[in-house]
Amino acid sequence: MKNKHRAGRGWVAGTLALGFFGGSWFARQERRANPRLATHGADIVNNASEAIITVNRDGRIVLANPAAARMFLARAEQMQGEQLTRFLHPPAGTKGALPTWFRTASGRAGRRGTDAAATGVRATGQMFPIEGSISTSWRGREPLHTIILRDVTERHLVHQKLQRSRDQLRQLSAALQTIREEERTYIARELHDDLGQILASLRMDLTLLQKDGTGTAEARRLMAGMESNLLTAIASLRRIATNLRPRALDEGGLYFALQGLRDDFVERHAIPATLFADEAELRLDDAASTAIFRIVQEALTNIARHANASHVTMNLYRLNGELLIQIRDDGRGIKAEDMEKAESLGLIGMRERVWAMNGDITISSEEPPGTRIDIVLPLAGHIVE
């Protein structure tokens, strides 16, 4: 009974594969065996909306349904007997027999897991992108390879438009980040050089008044209060200016700016943080230094807000012309859905800065609990000797 079922399934597969085009011996035998089922199989192949082509072991076409003829701008009768390579070019780098063309293990998979990408050639010579899947059946010792093909030109055009849109959005994002950094630098400089100097001058005047010794006890009390407020205002001003643009980034470089960032993080959030880095390896130009500083700053901000961590480790080192950044915490760990939230602007900003430098970023949960950020940034053109 099992053999009968297998024979039946093989017969149907062969019927669909051959489609009763041409006068092959196999087709004639199957028509004689069951003309009703043969007619039904031919109808299925003829009316299929997708292109179906069957080739023999030599790569010659023995079947081409009407949909295939329309796809390649040819007649089905003309296609039969032609080499498949007349109408279909294998994916780049493909070697071996026909069945290997459509093995998705090579990484050229199409929209569906069984699909692989190739290039179609119309009768006019026009090339177009195509996807297909292949199956092989046997008639005695004769292998028959049946390929189902889809023209994906429209999908490729949509993909190209989407890619152009992504590129434009990234260019816009990079431009906006540059503008924002310039504005931050300007505001920080104005706060430090202008308002900071005014506050320092007021404090000096107040100190002279206090030293004068004149005035009532109430006046001296008010002056002491004024001095305390001035000191608070100066400290706040310095903190704001540093957050906008740390002076160490301009005066000392990235290494000292990161040290200041680490010290401020520990002081404000009472979370121990360790920085492993070499000053000589972080001598980079302003664009790279600023981007890296902002990436680390955003990572620390996210840890302070969400991680509930008790320790943070930052490791920055150069290897083979690239800067490797590893930031780890022992907090609650980040969830996959958290990384895809539209409101996760900090993570989005980190990714955009990394991608703007043609780098890679991976954010994952650690075991035991915690979050790990791994970043690889190419440094070509950014190293300052």
Q: pLDDT confidence of 309, banded at 50, 70, 90?
A: very high
Average pLDDT across the chain, whole number: 79
What tokens does 351 get? 């990714």
pTM of the model: 0.58
Residue 36, pLDDT score? 52
Predicted local distance difference test score (pLDDT) of residue 11: 39
Predicted pLDDT of residue 97: 62
Share of the chain above pLDDT 70, in %: 79
Q: How many CB atoms lie within 10 A of CB 226?
A: 15
Confidence (pLDDT) at 378 = 95
CATH for the stretch 2-151:
3.30.450.20
Which whole number is the average pLDDT over 340-366? 81
55-78 burial code (b ≥16 CB/10 A, e <16) = bbeeeebbbbbebbbebbebebee
Both tokens of residue 116? 């692989």
Domain 247-385 sits in which CATH superfamily? Histidine kinase-like ATPase, C-terminal domain (3.30.565.10)
Residue matched to tokens 């080499």: 83
